[in-house]
């Protein structure tokens, strides 16, 4: 009954942690493609191929349902995967839709036509590849009209977080917020469009000011998954064991992950 959780690095552990809190009895297999991280600076073709390879590895672990806990993969690869590659008995879900449903105050799975919503000015902070894909704007347009989105590619933030350099990460976040607010001085809401960014949520909030509502993904994705599994219990795979896999150096990744989540995490070679 295991579910797979994939990220290019360790950022997706924020999503895994939230799912564990929401569904404590659900076995989870996490795969970090640390050998090829970060994805945010790669081409869409490269991201598609790497993501497909990772998802296949999770299927081998008995995970018929895989969550792409990576905004870059969700933005650059997911639509093509779902349309051309994922077999009928498997599911691959991304992290954008739960965020947009929360932003537009729609119920999970509400497929009614797009409508006007309370939030009109939205700041999006994401990796360069996610911003370039315009996937967030595309998904938002299915659900809301009249929303102005200003996107800021946050180069360097993921690298700084992965390297454990909080001082650099904080400085970069403040610089990116400043750059966005020169173009959109008064956003009503800010979307943290990368699963690494919840670790810097307090810095984003401080830089944006108290009047901006910050949307962070982990808890929203966990709630959406719980709802999905109630509706589609047959998508629970055959896997029964929770584990952490990496394409990188297991010892080095385990050390970073333990620091990242502040609890002991042991990765195995994928």
Alpha-carbon distance of 228 to 132, in angstroms, equals: 29
CB 230 within 8 A of CB 211: no
Distance CA 114, CA 98 (A): 16
Query: 206-238 burial, b if ≥16 CB within 10 A, otherwise e?
Result: ebbeeebebbbbbbbbbbbbeebbeeeeebbbe
- Asked about 63 being catalytic, the answer comes back as no
Residue 200 near residue 170 (C-beta atoms within 8 A): yes
Residue 151's DSSP bridge partners are 124
Give the Cβ contact number of residue 79 at 10 Å. 15
Structure tokens at 81: 């995967």
Q: Are 226 and 251 in contact (CB under 8 A)?
A: no
Tokens matching residue 169: 């990460």
CA distance linking residue 151 with residue 132, whole number of Å: 9
201: CB partners within 8 A, 6+ apart:
192, 214, 216
- Is 194 designated active site? yes
User: Which of these is catalytic: 52, 63, 154, 194?
Assistant: 194
Q: Which helix (H) or strand (E) holds 72?
A: helix 71-76
* 3-state DSSP assignment of residue 67: strand
Catalytic sites, residue numbers:
70, 194
């Amino acid at each position: 009954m295991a579910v797979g959780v994939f990220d290019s690095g360790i950022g997706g552990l924020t999503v895994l942690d939230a799912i564990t809190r929401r569904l404590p009895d659900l076995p989870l297999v996490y795969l970090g493609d640390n050998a090829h991280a970060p994805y945010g600076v790669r081409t869409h073709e490269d991201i598609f191929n790497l993501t497909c390879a990772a998802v296949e590895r999770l299927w081998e672990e008995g995970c018929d349902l895989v969550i792409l806990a990576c905004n870059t993969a969700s933005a650059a690869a997911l639509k093509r995967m779902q349309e051309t590659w994922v077999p009928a008995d498997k599911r691959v879900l991304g992290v954008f839709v739960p965020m947009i449903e929360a932003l537009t105050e729609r119920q999970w799975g509400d497929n009614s036509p797009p409508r006007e919503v309370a939030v009109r000015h939205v700041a999006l902070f994401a990796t360069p590849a996610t911003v370039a894909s315009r996937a967030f704007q595309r998904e938002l347009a299915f659900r809301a009209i009249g929303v102005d989105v200003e996107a800021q590619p946050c180069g360097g933030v993921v690298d700084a977080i992965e390297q454990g350099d909080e001082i650099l990460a904080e400085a970069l976040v403040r610089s990116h917020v400043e750059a966005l607010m020169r173009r959109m001085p008064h956003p009503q809401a800010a979307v943290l469009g990368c699963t690494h960014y919840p670790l810097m949520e307090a810095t984003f909030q401080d830089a944006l000011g108290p009047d901006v509502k910050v949307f962070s993904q982990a808890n929203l994705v966990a709630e959406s998954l719980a709802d999905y599994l109630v509706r589609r219990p047959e998508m629970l795979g055959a896997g029964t064991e929770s584990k952490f896999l990496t394409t990188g150096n297991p010892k080095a990744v385990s050390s970073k992950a333990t620091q990242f989540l502040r609890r002991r995490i042991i990765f195995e070679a994928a």
